[in-house]
Amino acid sequence: MMGLIWFWLVAVMIVGYVVLDGFDLGVGVLHLFLVRTEAERKATLSSIGPVWDGNEVWLLAGGGTLYFAFPTLYASAFSGFYLPLMIVLWLLILRGVSLELRNHIEVGVWRALLDGLFGIASLLLTIFYGAALANVIRGVPLQADGYFFLPLWTNWKPGLHPGILDWYTVIGGLVALVALTLHGALWIAIKTSSDLCRRAQRIVTPLWSVLLALTSVSLLATVNVRPQSLDNYFAHPITFAVPVGVIASLASVWIFNRSQKAVSAFLSSCLYLFFMLAGACWGLYPTLLPATTGPDRDITLERALSGPHTLAIGLVWWTFGMAMAVGYVAFVYSRFRGKVDLQVGRH
């Protein structure tokens, strides 16, 4: 029972990070081509400025919770994914530095450089996050000692000895890129006004069409690469509500955006991300990290779980810490509600 609780607590924290920091990343991608003037650049950055660093706390908290509850999984994954983790770390650093330093020097070249770094780092992060999830679903070449090594790519095919990038993980990266860019466009539509808001709403339609196609392809590809992902659904047919939720939330994004109901469309996008990630977690459970070298080497919930006393004490402190984090998020978002004024570049 305790293992089930901690599995879904970690899953909820990952979903929370993707939903909250996802629109930050999407705004970063759109910063490359949607904005046209310096006033619009300041407005888009001000729309995420008060919240982006708080949103990334959920990534740190999720990693800490993973280390606490599933140390075996943490040790194995963080050693095998060392290369992509270092890439992600540097992208996060570049993104944060770009946001904080672009307005410190009134030089056009300086701002253009940091705007480019911010946009490219955001774009690459979305792709790496999607590819990372696809790597977990596909499986990794775990050895008898529980460790593995993944090159950046091999023959671009899932198999016994895959690379970080293959045709399946590239699909995962593209789904994340388009989904989070759409998420960011809906956030800009909520937080800005005038022509920038209208352009953000218009770009949702082509992004939605691409996302619909990629979502369909990714679901079929997942069944092809990991047929076992359907086992839990057939064992508990009520959970087919999750893929139905994916379809319904995606349809709601299109309907509400057409009706210019930006908040409802954004919340529908949040639900889409929730159902996609919840579906992936349910398809894996109780396996945490599948092994392409054989099911006997899978890192399962039972194998990776910490001791019962540790988990019981940790649950108390986790509840206390998460209450503070949720309170902080609620406070910040309430303080900076409303639209950004394009004339002054702030709320």
- pLDDT, residue 19, reads 92
User: Which helix (H) or strand (E) element contains residue 287?
Assistant: strand 287-289
Q: Cis before residue 308, ω within 30 degrees of 0?
A: no
- pLDDT, residue 53, reads 82
Q: What is the mean pLDDT of each run of 10 residues along the chain (347 residues)?
A: 85 90 93 87 87 85 87 86 87 89 79 90 94 92 84 81 89 96 95 88 95 96 92 94 95 94 95 95 91 87 87 88 88 83 58
- pLDDT, residue 219, reads 93
Q: Please, what is the end-to-end C-alpha distance for the chain in angstroms? A: 46
Contacts 24+ apart (CB under 8 A), 82-89: 83/150, 83/152, 83/164, 84/128, 84/131, 84/132, 84/164, 87/124, 87/128, 88/125, 88/128, 88/129, 88/132
Spatial distance between the Cα atoms of 164 and 80, rounded to a whole number of angstroms: 10
Q: Which residue has the tokens 């293992």?
A: 3
- pLDDT, residue 346, reads 59
Helix%, strand%, coil% for the chain, nearest 5: 75, 5, 20
Q: Name the residue among 286, 195, 312 with its Cα closest to residue 7.
A: 286
Q: Name the residue among 194, 202, 203, 199 with its Cα closest to residue 342.
A: 194
- pLDDT, residue 347, reads 55
User: Are the CB atoms for 301 and 288 separated by under 8 Å?
Assistant: yes
Domain ranges of the chain: 2-335
- pLDDT, residue 157, reads 84
Compute how many other C-beta atoms are within 10 angstroms of the C-beta atom of residue 101. 14
User: Which helix (H) or strand (E) element contains residue 334?
Assistant: helix 308-335
Contacts with 3 (C-beta within 8 Å, 6 or more apart), sequence order: 286, 301, 302, 305
Q: Measured between alpha carbons, how far is residue 246 from residues 52, 136, 269 in Å?
A: 26, 20, 10
* pLDDT tens digits, 150-163: 887 788 888 788 88
